Structure 1
Amino acid sequence: MTDKSGPQSAAPPSETTFRSFSREQGENYAQHRRNYHPRLYQMLLDYHKSNGGQLDTLLDVGCGPGTAVRTLAPQFAHAIGLDPSEGMLAVARSLGGATATSEPIRFEASTIEDASTTGLSPPLADGSVDLIISATAAHWFDMAVFWRHAARLLKPGGTVALWCSGGIVVDPAMANGPAIQAAIDGFELALDDYILPGNRLARTLYAGLQLPWTLDNPVPEFDRDSFVRREWGTAAGAEPIDEFYAGMDKPAPAGVLAMVLATTSPYVRWREAHPAEVDTDSDPLQVMKKKINALVEGQGADGGPLLVRGGVAAVLLMVKKKSE
Structure 2
Amino acid sequence: MASSVLTTASFAAEKTFKSYKPEDGAAYARGRADYHENFYRIVVDRHTATGGKLDTILDVGCGPGIAARGLAPHFAHAIGIDASDGMISTARSLGGISSSSEPIRFEISAAEDLGSNLFPPIADSSVDLITAATAAHWFDLSKFWPRAARVLKPGGTVAIWTTRALTIHSSVPNYAAIQAAIDEIKEQYLEPYKERGNHLAGNFYVDLPLPWTLDEPVLDFDESKSSREEWTKERSDDQAAESGLGPRTVTLDYFENRLKTSSPVTRWREAHPDAVGTERDVPRIIRRRVEQLLHEKKGKEEIVICVEAVLLIIKKRV
Task: Give the aligned partner of residue 313 of structure 2.
Answer: 318
CA distance 1:140–1:291, shift in 2 (3 Å): same
Equivalent AA in structure 1 for residue 225 of structure 2:
S
Aligned to 1:299: 299
**1:9 offset after TM fit, Å?**
5.5
In structure 2, C-alpha distance between the alignment counterparts of 1:100 and 1:63, rounded to whole Å? 19
Moved more, 182-191 or 255-264: 182-191
Residues 1:236 and 1:5: Cα distance change in structure 2 (over 3 Å): farther
1:101-120 Cα deviation digits (max 9, x unpaired)? 11111100112443453x21
CA RMSD of aligned residues (A): 2.1
Q: Which amino acid in 2 is paired with 1:13?
A: A
% identity of equivalent residues: 46
Work out whether residues 252 and 308 of structure 1, in 8 Å CA contact, stay in contact via their aligned partners in 2.
yes
What is the DSSP-based 3-state SS (H/G/I as helix, E as strand, rest coil) of the residue aligned with 1:122?
coil
For structure 2, the 5+ residue unaligned runs are none
Distance 1:238 1:199 in 2: 27
AA aligned to 1:89 is I
SS in 1 for 2:309: strand
2:179 to 168, 178, 181: 181
**Aligned CA distance change for structure 1 residues 81 and 37 (closer, same or farther; 3 Å):** same
Q: 1:213 to 1:177 in 2, by over 3 A?
A: same
Task: Name the CA shift for 1:20/1:167 in 2 (closer, same or farther; >3 Å).
Answer: same
Q: Are the equivalent residues in 1 in contact too, given 2:114–2:144 (CA < 8 A)?
A: no
Cα 1:242–1:176 shift into 2, 3 Å:
farther
Q: Classify the secondary structure of the residue corresponding to 1:224.
A: strand
Residue 153 of structure 1: aligned partner: 151
Contact 1:39 1:243 in 2 (8 A): yes
CA deviation vs aligned residue, 1:89-147 (integer Å, no higher than 9, x gap): 11100111111111111100112443453x21111111110000000110001111111
Instruction: Show structure 1 runs of 5+ residues with no match.
Output: 301-305
Q: Which residue of 2 aligns with 1:260?
A: 258
Q: Provide TM-score, normalisation by structure 2.
A: 0.92
Amino acid at match of 2:54: L
More strand by share: 2
Quick one: structure 1 residues 8 and 226, their matched pair in 2 at CA, closer, same or farther if it must change by over 3 Å? same
TM-superposition CA deviations, 1:251-275 (whole Å, max 9, x none): 2112211110111011011111111
The Cα shift of 1:52 comes to 2.5
Q: 1:229 to 1:238 in 2, by over 3 A?
A: farther
Deviation, structure 1 residue 44: 1.0
TM-score, length-normalised on structure 1? 0.91
Map 1:158-173 to 2 at 5 A. 158-166=156-164, 168-173=166-171
Aligned to 1:89: 88
User: Distance between the aligned counterparts of 2:243 and 2:259, measured in 1?
Assistant: 16
- Tell me, what secondary structure is at the counterpart of 1:213? coil
Give the C-alpha shift of residue 312 in structure 1.
3.1
User: Number of aligned pairs?
Assistant: 315
Change in CA separation of 1:95 and 1:279 when aligned onto 2, cut-off 3 Å:
closer
For the residues of structure 2 that align with 1:81 and 1:7, how far apart are their CA atoms?
28
8 A contact 1:128–1:155 mirrored in 2? yes
Q: Secondary structure at the match of 1:226?
A: strand
Q: Deviations over 1:183-211 (max 9, x none)?
A: 22123212111101111110001111011
Residues 240/274 of structure 1: CA separation in 2 closer, same or farther (3 Å cut):
farther
Cα distance, 1:283 vs structure 2: 2.6
Question: What is the CA distance between 1:227 and its match in structure 2?
Answer: 1.2
Cα distance in 2 for partners of 1:243, 1:271 equals 37
CA distance in 2 between counterparts of 1:245 and 1:198 reads 25
2: CA distance, partners of 1:220 / 1:172:
44
**Whole-Å separation in 1 of the counterparts to 2:237 and 2:12:** 31
8 Å contact from structure 2 (residues 165, 305) kept in 1: no
Against the structure 1 CA distance between its residues 245 and 202, is the aligned structure 2 distance closer, same or farther, given a 3 Å change threshold? farther
Give me the whole-angstrom Cα distance separating, in 1, the residues matched to 2:55 and 2:171.
45
Write the distance in 2 (CA, Å) between the matches of 1:245 and 1:259: 21
CA distance in 1, matches of 2:276, 2:115: 42
Q: Which amino acid aligns with 1:262?
A: K
Aligned counterpart, 1:13: 12
Structure 1 residues 43 and 108, CA gap change in structure 2 (3 angstroms): same
